[in-house]
Structure 1
Amino acid sequence: MNAREAPELYGDSAIVTDRTRLWFHRGAAPVMPLPHRHDDLEINIVLQGALDYQFGGTRASVPAGSLAVFWGATPHRLVATDAGADGDMCWIQVPLTTVLGWNLPMSDLSEVLLSQPIIVPATTIARDMEAMFVSWQQEMGVDGLETIALLEIQALIRRVLHWQRHSGEKASAAASGNPNVSADSMRGVTEMARFTVENFRKQISVVDIAASANLNPHYATTLFRRAVGSTIAEYLIRCRVAEAQRLLVTTTMTASEVAHAAGFGSQSSFYAQFTKRCGTSPGTYRSRLL
């Protein structure tokens, strides 16, 4: 087990300041009183029982024998489990900086940054996920082994994305149905999210994002919030901040260059948005991780 402080899994107001390490937890799933969010890629492994999430405006069920992968920045809340104290679930949270450092193809990255979880049967991974989880917990912080564990976790994510792309299925929360958003409308939301992920470095606006799905901006904004739990503008900013995090850690670009490359219109806007979402200035963020 690494030393990273437990995140908001157990409450609605806790703030995690150490986003540099993986976090692991295993046990019964606690019902959350309020939605929470965090800038990590979250992996749920359901060994026994089931998880029932409110994810943005969508309900998502993760049955026993399944994996769920999603970006935790979208407000989500565990509303129920069918096993109570007898449930057995594993959680892994991978810092977004780590994920961005994997240099995933843009098609894969867009899937990860979409606002709905990818849910797949554990059998598609062809691995003993319980044994793998135990090994990863033990190997964090061990010279040589931690690097191997990180590579295996990356491979797991790539396998999930490969299955999602080639199975002919859309194993996401959208498939489980959202009483507030029709299937046709959900496709529009997905298209807007994809367009945002692929074009956020450019000076695009809410109007441009709505146009990518052939929707009126006002209607698109309402639909997006209802389905995702955040506005289009907020989602755009989150993508830009995530890119700035990656550039600060993986390049020697100046803060001004990072702001421009990540799509911010001004350096002042970059500093304000980055500090608000990361809890520290870009310079301090970089110095802590390098």
Structure 2
Amino acid sequence: MPMISFDPNRPDFAPYGLSCVRWSPSPMRRPDHHNEIELNLLHSGWVTYLLGGRKVRIRAGQMSAFWAAIPHQIIDFGDEPDYFVATIPFAWFLQCKLPERFVQPLLHGEVMAEPDETRARFDYDLFGQWERDLRDTREEIKRVVLLEMEARLVRLALALPNKEPSSARSRRRNPVLNDGGLNKVEQMACLIAQRYLEKLTVEEIGRSVGLHPNYAMSLFQRTFGTTLVEYLTHHRVSHAQRLLATGDEKIVDVAFESGFSSISRFNEAFRRACGCSPREYRKQHRIDD
């Protein structure tokens, strides 16, 4: 089968849906973002993403997962990378109710990578099977793939180090939400990912999904472990990180282009999130052409 590469003309935030394809990397002229969980599995080589303003290298033999609603852009690759890219619909992913120590970092922009190198051969066969299966249009086959993807994500979650004591995990465990609740949360997250550069308010976000602002905030925090405002700010800071690392705009222009209403709010939010000023970040992370 021919390998696929990024199309810079694809509509912004267009979904990939449930997919598994062989991918050919190329430097991307703009970031991509779509509301799916993305899995990468390299058979050889390496790929470097600019993911939410941070450089992240994906290496061969280590399945990696990230939430693709966060802007991501291939900026470098080497050693003739050969890899699979799988995408999993976000609503389905949430309904799997995977362990929090896996879900929460993922939803906050972390890349979750398989720590057990011995699983690589199994994963190559598995992704190859998914690629072949998803050429089949039968719903029964799609269901098999989804079940296998869920099982693989559970294995990844259980393989990650558990850094919290059990008592803390118990206190933070999310309440059970019905499908409607999950759908509302997904809609809010999707709205923020699409419109974080605009002047969004909690009232507008809640109204867009038919919820009272107070209930919208409560539901979102119980699911994501963060407030709507903090989540919106996270997207804006990530956008600013990308601009600082790749462009020469003035700091004040970066602030307003990233959705902040004032330079003081931008500086405060950026320092709180990154531990340094925007100017210091640019010096440390500047990507040369």
Band the TM-score falls in, shorter-chain normalisation: 0.5 to 0.7
Q: Unaligned regions of 5+ residues in structure 2, if any?
A: 165-220, 235-263, 276-289
Conservation of the 8 A alpha-carbon contact between 2:13 and 2:32: no
Give 2:147's match in structure 1, choosing from 147, 151, 155. 151
Aligned partners of 2:127, 2:92: CA distance in 1, in Å?
18
Aligned partners of 1:113, 1:34: CA distance in 2, in Å?
22
Give 1:110's match in structure 2, choosing from 91, 95, 104. 104
* 2:68 counterpart letter in structure 1: G
* 1:24 counterpart letter in structure 2: C
Report what 1:33 is aligned to.
Answer: 29
SS of structure 2 residue aligned to 1:128: helix
Conservation of the 8 A alpha-carbon contact between 1:125 and 1:160: no
Report what 1:232 is aligned to.
Answer: none
Aligned partners of 1:22, 1:58: CA distance in 2, in Å?
26
Structure 1 residue 146: Cα displacement: 2.4
Conservation of the 8 A alpha-carbon contact between 1:65 and 1:121: no
Q: Unaligned regions of 5+ residues in structure 1, if any?
A: 169-193, 211-215, 228-290
* 2:94 counterpart letter in structure 1: L
Structure 1 residue 225: Cα displacement: 7.0
Aligned partners of 2:7, 2:271: CA distance in 1, in Å?
28
Structure 1 residue 196: Cα displacement: 8.6
Structure 1 residue 101: Cα displacement: 2.1
Report what 1:270 is aligned to.
Answer: none
TM-score by length of 1: 0.54
Aligned partners of 2:51, 2:13: CA distance in 1, in Å?
23
Identity of counterpart residues, as a percentage?
A: 20
**Once the two structures are superposed, what CA deviation does each residue of 1:54-93 show, in whole Å capped at 9, x if it has no partner?**
111211111111111000011111111112xx32110001
Report what 2:19 is aligned to.
Answer: 23
Structure 1 residue 43: Cα displacement: 0.2
Asked if residue 99 in structure 1 is aligned to residue 147 in structure 2, the reply is no
SS of structure 1 residue aligned to 2:93: helix
* 2:93 counterpart letter in structure 1: V
SS of structure 2 residue aligned to 1:92: strand
* 1:25 counterpart letter in structure 2: V
**Segment drifting more, 142-151 vs 153-162:** 142-151
Report what 2:6 is aligned to.
Answer: 10
SS of structure 2 residue aligned to 1:82: strand
SS of structure 1 residue aligned to 2:104: helix
Structure 1 residue 123: Cα displacement: 2.5
SS of structure 1 residue aligned to 2:85: strand
Give 1:132's match in structure 2, choosing from 96, 117, 126. 126
SS of structure 2 residue aligned to 1:42: strand
* 1:23 counterpart letter in structure 2: S
TM-score by length of 2: 0.54
Aligned partners of 1:24, 1:198: CA distance in 2, in Å?
30
Asked if residue 70 in structure 1 is aligned to residue 33 in structure 2, the reply is no
SS of structure 1 residue aligned to 2:114: strand
